[in-house]
Structure formats: structure tokens, C-alpha cells
Amino acid sequence: MTTALIIGDIQRGITGGFPFARQVVPPLTELLPRARAAGALVVFVHFAFRANGTDVPPHSALMKSFFEAGDAFHEGSAGTELDLPVTEQDVVVLKRRASAFAGTDLDLVLRARGVTTVAVAGVATSAMVAATCYDAADRGYRVSVLRDGCGDADPAMHDFFMDAIFPSRGFDVVSCDGWRPSAEA
């Protein structure tokens, strides 16, 4: 199997506070057993800062707002716990920026497993999903995006990425139900 399913930021601090994030949990929950049965590598990525804030960029108002919003995004807090079922064969990656690749060992793990194709899901479409897709493409991976496995606080932004941006970049946009892992090298 040469496919990985990357699911980002489906964690309690996000799904608990944002309805758009909760709506992707059912289709992803249904997809997980099928992906695992097909042999796809399932990768969960969650977002957290160190509790002392040393990894918060001082000039990023957005990142500072996440850090200062309480401990929902502080490493080790309940808010950073995944809100989907994780099994022993899955991979869990901690990230501190939008992309699942930025500053993590995700690329190393994927290459060690012979992965050439990634399917990306999670929240938010205009942040984690887009950043991860761009990074994956830059690293030579074939990219699919799971439309109903992604969500954004702005539904129009979600649709714009799914209908215009992602296809224009050569990414396949499919539903969770329509996605099939690839065994091609």
C-alpha cells in the first residue's frame, strides 16, 4: 500500500468549540475502518504549543490568540486529545504550525513506509488542509482532498478551495465515501 490518510486537527479543543469541525467527525469515523482494512497508513496530526509558549511566534497575532485562548492548544491538555478512534497501527504526529509537515517527522514516516499518495482531511480547509496539501505536493506526493472530511468556519471558503483552488493545483477532490486508497507505486 502506497497511500496514507492524513487527518489533521480533529482534536477536542477544536471539535468542542466549533460546529464546522464536529461535522467532519461522522464521515471520518466511517472512513477509518475501510482505510485501515485496505492497508492505508492512517496518520493523525494534532496541534499544540508548549505550555510555556516558547514556540509561539512573537509577531503572529493568530498563533498568539490560539495560545492565549486558554489551555485548549497547550501540549498535554485535554484540548489536544484526538477526537477520533486511534489504533495501535496508526501514527500520531504533534505539530506546532498549520502544515502537518512543518517541523515534524511526517515526511520521514511516509517515506519509510513507501507512501507516494496522500489523502488529506481535517480542519480548517483554508489553514491546515491547504498548508498540508501544498507541502505534500512540494515534496512529490500525489494529493487527494476529502471534501466532506474537511471543514472551515467559512463555508464559502471551504467551497472555494474544494471547487477552484485544489483542482487548479492538480489535487483530486473526492468524498470520504468515494475515496479509494491506491496500491500503486
Per-residue pLDDT, 36: 98
182 — pLDDT class (breaks 50, 70, 90): confident
Per-residue pLDDT, 136: 98
Whether 156 has a pLDDT exceeding 90, the answer reads: yes
Give the DSSP letter of residue 44. Answer: E
Per-residue pLDDT, 72: 85
How high is the mean pLDDT of the chain?
96
Nearest-Å Rg of the Cα atoms of the chain is: 15
| Chain segment 29-50, per-residue pLDDT in tens | 999 999 999 999 999 999 999 9
| Chain segment 72-81, per-residue pLDDT in tens | 899 999 999 9
The helix (run of H) or strand (run of E) holding residue 26 is: helix 25-38
Per-residue pLDDT, 184: 60
Per-residue pLDDT, 183: 67
Three-state SS annotation for 73-116: HECCCHHHCECCCCCCCCEEEEECCCCCCCCCCHHHHHHHCCCC
Whether 139 has a pLDDT exceeding 60, the answer reads: yes
Q: How far apart are CA 47 and CA 55, in angstroms?
A: 12
Q: How far apart are CA 100 and CA 120, in angstroms?
A: 10
Average pLDDT over residues 83-103: 97
Give the DSSP letter of residue 71. Answer: G
Q: How far apart are CA 147 and CA 99, in angstroms?
A: 18
Exposure string for 11-33, b = 16+ CB within 10 A, e = fewer: bbbbbeeeebbbebeebbeebbe
